[in-house]
């Protein structure tokens, strides 16, 4: 094979790689950078025990669990960066992920962009420090269901206990008081067709739900500070 054919094959391989990147990630060039911080996006709807219809953006909790395990065990990673833009989803799946994140020894920081709604609230507060973008919002509301409900009294008791688990987790992992969180959850003056409250940016910080208003650079600076503190302790 002559030099001309070799260069043609190299250029063709580069073009094929760029085309694949463009199709899968929406960009031509991917920065070649090895980070010690594992970035985990929680986007769309959190999928639990049942599959969502095709065409719905989702985060599958069975995919996230082994990623969290890898971050905790792999010495390559020194911290976890959680980027959240979710409408909510399966309550038990979201709470399970929140409990796993909150129990990690490695430093973790969350950043709510767009929205951290419903079960996205426990996920947002599950890290060591939480940020929210100035224009991002969070919806706090009671657990709800749709469709036919059989054995109403038993179902009500189940939802009540599940709601107590969520309230307890949020209270433990944030600065908001239980009574205030329940007050926001049962607010009937803000949403026309539902109970609940919507907190935007600074409002979430003022309520004690989120630690700080900030963006990407703020979150990265904070997680590096937490990593340095952990190294100093060890």
pLDDT tens digit sequence for 88-126: 788 888 888 999 999 999 999 999 999 988 888 999 999
Q: What is the predicted pLDDT for the residue at 122?
A: 92
Mean pLDDT of 139-156: 59
Instruction: Round the average pLDDT of the chain to a whole number and report it.
Output: 80
Task: Round to whole Å and give the CA distance between 139 and 162.
Answer: 17
More confident residue, 64 or 149: 64
Q: Residue 162 — pLDDT band, cuts 50, 70, 90?
A: confident
Catalytic residue list contains 63: no
Q: Residue 8 — pLDDT band, cuts 50, 70, 90?
A: very low
Mean pLDDT of 208-221: 94
Pairing of strands 137-140, 37-47: unpaired
Task: Round to whole Å and give the CA distance between 168 and 104.
Answer: 18
Examine the pLDDT at 53 and tell me if it is beyond 90: no
* Least-confidence region, from 12-21, 152-161, 190-199, 203-212: 12-21
Q: What is the predicted pLDDT for the residue at 147?
A: 46
Q: Residue 194 — pLDDT band, cuts 50, 70, 90?
A: low
Backbone angles phi, psi at 167, to 5 degrees: -60, -45
Catalytic residue list contains 118: yes
Task: Round to whole Å and give the CA distance between 37 and 57.
Answer: 24
Task: Round to whole Å and give the CA distance between 80 and 160.
Answer: 32
Mean pLDDT of 80-87: 92
User: How does pLDDT run across 34-52, given as a tens digit for each residue?
Assistant: 788 999 999 888 877 767 6
SS3 187: coil
Catalytic residue among 108, 118, 174, 197: 118
Q: What is the predicted pLDDT for the residue at 164?
A: 85
The share of the chain scoring above pLDDT 70, in percent, equals 75
Catalytic residue among 110, 126, 130, 141: 141
């Amino acid at each position: 094979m002559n030099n001309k054919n070799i260069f043609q094959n190299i250029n063709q391989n580069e073009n094929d790689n760029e085309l694949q990147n463009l199709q899968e990630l929406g960009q031509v060039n991917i920065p070649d950078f090895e980070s010690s911080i594992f970035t985990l996006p929680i986007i769309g709807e959190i999928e639990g025990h049942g599959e969502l219809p095709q065409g719905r953006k989702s985060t599958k909790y069975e995919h996230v669990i082994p990623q969290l395990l890898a971050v905790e065990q792999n010495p390559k990673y020194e911290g976890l960066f959680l980027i959240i833009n979710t409408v909510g989803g399966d309550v038990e799946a979201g709470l399970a992920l929140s409990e796993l994140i909150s129990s990690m020894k490695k430093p973790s920081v969350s950043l709510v962009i767009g929205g951290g709604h419903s079960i996205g609230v426990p996920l947002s507060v599950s890290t060591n420090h939480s940020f929210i973008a100035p224009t991002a919002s969070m919806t706090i509301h009671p657990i709800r269901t749709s469709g036919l409900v059989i054995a109403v009294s038993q179902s009500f008791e189940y939802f009540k206990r599940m709601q107590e688990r969520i309230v307890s987790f949020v209270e433990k992992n944030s600065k908001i008081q239980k009574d205030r969180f329940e007050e926001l959850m049962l607010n009937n003056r803000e949403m026309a067709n539902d109970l609940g409250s919507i907190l935007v940016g600074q409002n979430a910080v003022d309520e004690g739900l989120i630690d700080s208003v900030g963006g990407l650079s703020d979150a990265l600076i904070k997680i590096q500070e937490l990593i340095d503190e952990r190294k100093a302790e060890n």
